[in-house]
Amino acid sequence: MNTSHRNATKRLTAALLLLALLLPAVFPASADAAPPAGYVIDDGGNALPTPLGYSVERVIVPSGGNALKNPADLVIDGSDRLYVADTDHNRIVRLDRWGNALRMFGTKEDSLGLNAPKGLFVESDGHLYVADTNNARIVHVSPDGRLIETFSAPQSDLLDPDFPYRPDKLAIDGKGNLYVQSGNDYHGLIVMDAYGKFQGYIAPNQLKFDLKDWILRVFATKEQRDASGKKVPPNHRGVAIDPKEGRLYTVVGNTSSEEIKRFNLLGVNTYPAKTYGEYSQTNGVRTSAALADIVVAPNGIMSVVDSRQKKVYQYDQEGNMLMAFGGSGQQSGYFQEPVAIALDSEGLLYVLDRALGNIQVFRPNAFATLVQKATALYHDGRYEEAVGPWNAALAMNANYVLAHRGVGKALLKREKWTEAMAELKLGEDKTNYSKAMKGWRHQLLRERFGWIAAAAALLLAAAYYAAVALRSYTNRLAASPGGGTPLSQAALLVFQPREAFARIQTAPSLAAALLLFAAVIGARFFEIYFTGFHFAGTRPEFASLVLETAKMAVPLAAGVVALWAATTVLDGESTFGQTVAACAYSLLPYLVGRILVTIASNVLTLEEQGLLHAIELLMLVWLCGVCFVQIMTLNDYTVVKTVVVALVAAFTMMVLMAAAVLFYMLLDHVAGFVRELYVEMYVRSS
């Protein structure tokens, strides 16, 4: 009995393992693979391996009476002394760079009476500003621990007298103005002058439109809407001042884009508006970044810490990720709940972990040093000087995107067009690649104008005579009786679509239809692999054969079924086979237009993309016209009824596609459940 039970368990385990392996192969899971130890995230969300930029220099673990409990912030002064907001102990701990305790602020000796301090700002000379959260104030403390001044809740007619003032993050600019994040206040940062007078709000965040939430609220009852609460914009979680230019930086929580912001004097965000950090996705549930703190180096390079993904990310002044490291774990180099980050005079990064109660110190490796040096030169406009460090970085990692971009920009300034295009393509710099292509074209025209003009004239003449010949051929076809061959039906579609669909209705060819559908899917892969780099939307190396095929096949199948269902219900005359064949032929404009756009994208620049849009618009008009004629001809509809049927079919198609997406998500959940079940059974059986 036990042997039989064990055999049955093994068979069930094997079956579950097989199902767990097969489902992701057919329907790829959306979860990204675990990134390598050193990596960057490109604009497409892909993790690209790099050498590890930082290594652990030491780990500071205050112990005994200096042990930290739920620390919330960390700053470093000009003498490289560390200040930690030891929140649950109601104190500030000052340490040297090795972790030796130097002084406590908030003890009985100084009578500061701190209550759950959460935010700190320190000047280079050691003057400390503490966001004394539960006391609803900010205190200014001298280096020797004396209370200099207190900033209580600001008073102003613009503020609600009962607004909850709970400062938890702050920064101070060169003029003495205080920028304070108060609890969950979503209006932005409170600005006070050096005397504590309220100046207004700056840097308010906007509540982004969420279609899913809007739909839920439309169909929810009043009780359900009340229970879900009021939706408010996200608030700032970390605040920093650029030590060189004095600009205000913040990181924003609970948002899926613009997690990092840089504000000018008018409070306008001047940092590129895109997604920062990274997200993970498991069983269809997306976990976004939760950036908690930011520090800006004198060269403008910023480092941020993510308390949810448990990572450190470093960015340049243009929003490009330079490197990333960390992850969830107990060992050195990993984190449990990183909440603050600081930088000392040597360029070492200090990361405070609230859960572990420690501070990990990271030293930049040779690769990071080269990248940071080259980045600083590059953003100062010293492209030629940056080439040396960039090339040295490429010697350590030949695939480092930003290094190729820097070298390519230097080559662009030298007017070495082809070399610049090659480097800028590797550097994923579409704008400058387009500029290099424009220069290359001008050079080619100067050197080969005669040959190019002759080739263009021959091409135009050939196109003209081909169109005339095709028109003559279709006229002869229209005069001949019978349904004709699939090739002749396709030729008729160009100039005489009604006649073409009439013949398709008489002699539909399923084989020709399947061939055309396959050609349309093939045109998608032709677009992926041969579109000019500066116009490409999907990188070939990240294109999935199954996913891209499904993205084309599912809408095509949904469209055919939807049209057949609509015409069947609304007194149409076409059979399913006729509908399949006619829909396939109707895609001929898409096939021709997509190939033309792909070819043209290799010779046009970004400044001329209007020509590509014009081709796509003509393709769309032609496609809609052919589809309209198809519905009307095959079903003997009037113009008005054809419009009605087309709208019904379009709506039905969207419903079918939504059902397909839900089915895919269900399979994704099932695959995840099976994998988890297998792991659980494997662990228990072992």
Q: Are 131 and 117 contacting, i.e. CB atoms less than 8 angstroms apart?
A: yes
Own/partner contacts of 587-592, CB < 8 Å, gap of 24 or more, are 587/516, 587/517, 587/520, 587/556, 587/623, 588/490, 588/493, 588/494, 588/516, 588/626, 589/619, 589/622, 589/623, 589/626, 590/520, 590/523, 590/619, 590/623, 591/516, 591/519, 591/520, 591/523, 592/619
Distance CA 335, CA 326 (A): 7
Q: Are 319 and 261 contacting, i.e. CB atoms less than 8 angstroms apart?
A: no
Which residues, in sequence order, are CB contacts of 469 under 8 Å at separation 6+?
none
Distance CA 321, CA 335 (A): 20
> Per-residue pLDDT for 481 more than 60?
yes
Cα within 13 Å of Cα(396), Cβ side: 19
Q: For the segment 548-570, what is each residue's pLDDT rounded down to a tens digit?
A: 998 899 999 999 999 999 999 99
Which residues, in sequence order, are CB contacts of 683 under 8 Å at separation 6+?
none
- Give the pLDDT of residue 227: 60
- Give the pLDDT of residue 482: 60
Which residues, in sequence order, are CB contacts of 510 under 8 Å at separation 6+?
577, 580, 581
> Per-residue pLDDT for 284 more than 60?
no
Residue 364's region, left for phi above 0, alpha for psi from -120 to 50, else beta, is beta
Residue with tokens 């930003």: 402
- Give the pLDDT of residue 455: 86
- Give the pLDDT of residue 213: 62
Run of H or E including 296:
strand 291-296
> Per-residue pLDDT for 637 more than 60?
yes
Q: Give all domains of the chain, ordered by start, each with its CATH number.
A: 1-31+481-686 (no CATH), 54-364 (2.120.10.30)
Locate the DSSP E strands across 61-194: 73-76, 82-86, 91-95, 101-105, 119-122, 128-132, 137-141, 147-151, 167-172, 178-182, 189-192
Query: Quick count: other Cβ atoms within 10 Å of Cβ 34?
Result: 9
Which residues, in sequence order, are CB contacts of 300 under 8 Å at separation 6+?
242, 244, 245, 316, 317, 376, 379
- Cα-based distances in Å from 655 to 345, 652, 661: 60, 5, 10
Across 1-5, 21-25, 455-459, least confident range: 21-25
Q: Are 411 and 426 contacting, i.e. CB atoms less than 8 angstroms apart?
A: no
> Per-residue pLDDT for 313 more than 90?
yes
Across 205-209, 470-474, 479-483, 616-620, least confident range: 479-483
Cα within 13 Å of Cα(255), Cβ side: 26
Across 289-303, 321-335, 364-378, 467-481, least confident range: 467-481
Residue 92's region, left for phi above 0, alpha for psi from -120 to 50, else beta, is beta
**What's the rounded mean pLDDT across residues 430-449?**
91
The strand pairing partners of 323, in sequence order, are 314
* Alpha-helical runs (H) found in 160-298: 211-219, 222-228
Largest CA distance in the chain: 107
* Alpha-helical runs (H) found in 160-232: 211-219, 222-228
Distance CA 559, CA 286 (A): 30
Q: Are 31 and 669 contacting, i.e. CB atoms less than 8 angstroms apart?
A: no
- Give the pLDDT of residue 685: 62
pLDDT averaged over every residue in the chain: 86
Strand 128-132 relative to strand 137-141, pairing: antiparallel
Q: Which residues of 324-360 are buried (b: 16+ CB within 10 A; e: fewer)?
A: bbbbeeeeebbbebbbbbbbbeebbbbbbbbebbbbb
Residue 514: pLDDT band (50, 70, 90) is: very high
Distance CA 490, CA 486 (A): 6
- Give the pLDDT of residue 684: 60
Structure tokens at 376: 């600083």
Of 17, 19, 18, 24, which is closest to residue 546 (Cα–Cα)?
24
Of 176, 339, 336, which is closest to residue 251 (Cα–Cα)?
339
CA-derived radius of gyration, the chain: 32
Distance CA 656, CA 557 (A): 9
CA-CA-CA-CA torsion sign (150, 153, 154, 156): negative
Residues making up the chain, counted from first to last: 686
CA-CA-CA-CA dihedral for 407, 413, 414, 417, to nearest 10: 80
Structure tokens at 440: 């290359």
Residue 210: pLDDT band (50, 70, 90) is: low
> Per-residue pLDDT for 181 more than 90?
yes
Distance CA 61, CA 361 (A): 11
- Give the pLDDT of residue 217: 62
Of 104, 97, 156, 109, which is closest to residue 130 (Cα–Cα)?
104
Q: Which residues of 46-56 are buried (b: 16+ CB within 10 A; e: fewer)?
A: bbbebbbbbee
Run of H or E including 294:
strand 291-296
Locate the DSSP E strands across 445-589: none
- Give the pLDDT of residue 20: 44
Q: For the segment 43-78, what is each residue's pLDDT rounded down to a tens digit?
A: 777 788 889 999 999 999 998 888 999 999 999 999
Range ranked top by mean pLDDT from 290-304, 489-503, 527-541: 290-304
Q: For the segment 648-683, what is each residue's pLDDT rounded down to a tens digit?
A: 999 999 999 888 888 888 887 777 777 777 766 765
Amino acid identity for residue 455 in this structure: A
- Cα-based distances in Å from 64 to 61, 92, 104, 113, 225: 10, 15, 14, 22, 49
> Please, what is the Cα angle at 158 between 154 and 160, to 5 degrees?
75
Q: For the segment 353-387, what is each residue's pLDDT rounded down to a tens digit?
A: 999 999 999 999 999 999 999 999 988 888 899 99
Of 315, 313, 305, which is closest to residue 353 (Cα–Cα)?
305
Residue 438: pLDDT band (50, 70, 90) is: very high
Eight-class DSSP state of 35:
P
